[in-house]
């Protein structure tokens, strides 16, 4: 399998694992800092186990290799997590995830001006089509809108795009160990502000499954993506969460999206599928040509 194809598959799988996150946060419906204290700690523990299984005794060296770029990734991820949870509590799942769909545009701008990566035409077309689908979703009046929550969501989006771009700036270095530091940072900040977390047994169990297993594995896979695909493509694949997140909430919590939201989600999924298929075919063609030469 070509490196770029592997990067697309790993990133898509990572996003799928992250997609129930909105469901868990909406189900908990408690103080954001209480959630963040456990969320960051559990994710750090899950990441530590995955990284130890992968690198064993060389994990400290891998952390050291991340350098200042890794520290910047950790700060971006940690603060983005804090902003995301606050946005989810204030603005709700739909608004937060819809604002998160602007990640490809921000990642494209950062990658273009910072790394000199001009997005290919198919990526620009896919972004425009996705924006059309998102615009259709936004045109539907979603309950629970909050200006402050929307600002938190925008801040989380910018920081997430910056994290992807930073990881892309050093493609030969695995930046996933930096997520461990970022998760601990989010937990420490939340504990300092919100105090000792108090959650019920069921709440802690659900949060443990999401934050201790699915989030670490999902973000590790997503963090590997920028090593072989652009930050813009990583952000574009994150649009899957915009569609799947509300679907999880609809299925298990009964918060049904309107026909307008469903239509917009279908447009986004079709655009993502077309973009991935075009990139896959292009990678296969280039590999065939290189083999012939």
Domain span at 221? 3-292
pLDDT for 142: 61
Contact 142, 92 (CB under 8 A): yes
Residue among 22, 29, 257 nearest 143 (CA): 257
Q: For the stretch 36-73, what's the b/e string if a residue is b when 16 or more beta carbons lie within 10 angstroms of its beta carbon?
A: bbbbbbbbbbbbbebbeeebeeebeebbebbeebbebb
pLDDT for 83: 95
pLDDT for 225: 74
pLDDT for 74: 95
| pTM of the complete model | 0.77
- For the chain, the first-to-last Cα distance in angstroms comes to 19
DSSP states of 208-241: HHIIIIIHHHHHHHHHHGGGTS-HHHHHHHTHHH
- Which residues does the chain have with pLDDT short of 50? none
Domain count, the chain: 1
pLDDT for 285: 62
pLDDT for 201: 84
pLDDT for 231: 63
Q: Which residues contact 262 (CB under 8 A, 6 or more apart)?
A: none
pLDDT for 271: 83
pLDDT for 70: 93
228-241 per-position pLDDT tens digit: 777 667 767 777 78
The angle at the Cα of 289, spanning 287 to 292, to the nearest 5 degrees, equals 110
pLDDT for 188: 94
């Amino acid at each position: 399998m070509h490196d770029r194809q592997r990067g697309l598959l790993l990133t898509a799988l990572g996003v799928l694992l992250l997609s129930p996150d909105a469901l868990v946060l909406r189900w908990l419906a408690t103080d954001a800092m209480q959630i963040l204290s456990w969320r960051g700690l559990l994710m750090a523990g899950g990441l530590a186990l995955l990284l130890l299984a992968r690198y064993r005794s060389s994990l400290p060296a891998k952390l050291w290799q991340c350098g200042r770029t890794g520290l910047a990734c950790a700060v971006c991820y940690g603060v983005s997590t804090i902003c995301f949870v606050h946005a989810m509590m204030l603005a709700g799942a739909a608004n937060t995830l819809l604002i998160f769909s602007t990640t490809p545009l921000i990642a494209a701008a950062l990658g273009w001006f910072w790394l000199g990566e001009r997005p290919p035409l198919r990526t620009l077309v896919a972004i425009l089509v996705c924006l059309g689908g998102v615009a259709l979703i936004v045109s539907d009046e979603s309950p629970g809108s909050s200006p402050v929550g929307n600002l938190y969501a925008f801040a989380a989006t910018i920081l997430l795009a910056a994290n992807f771009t930073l990881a892309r700036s050093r493609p030969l270095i695995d930046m996933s160990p930096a997520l461990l530091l970022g998760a601990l940072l989010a937990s420490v900040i939340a504990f300092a502000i919100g105090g000792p977390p108090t959650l019920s047994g069921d709440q802690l169990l659900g949060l443990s499954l999401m934050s201790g297993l699915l989030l670490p594995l999902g973000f590790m896979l997503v963090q590997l993506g920028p090593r072989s695909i652009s930050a813009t493509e990583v952000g574009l694949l994150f649009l899957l969460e915009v569609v799947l997140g509300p679907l999880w909430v609809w299925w298990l919590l009964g918060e049904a999206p309107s026909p307008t939201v469903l239509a917009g989600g279908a447009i986004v999924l079709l655009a993502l599928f077309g973009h991935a298929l075009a990139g896959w075919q292009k990678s296969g063609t280039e590999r065939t040509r290189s083999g012939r030469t």
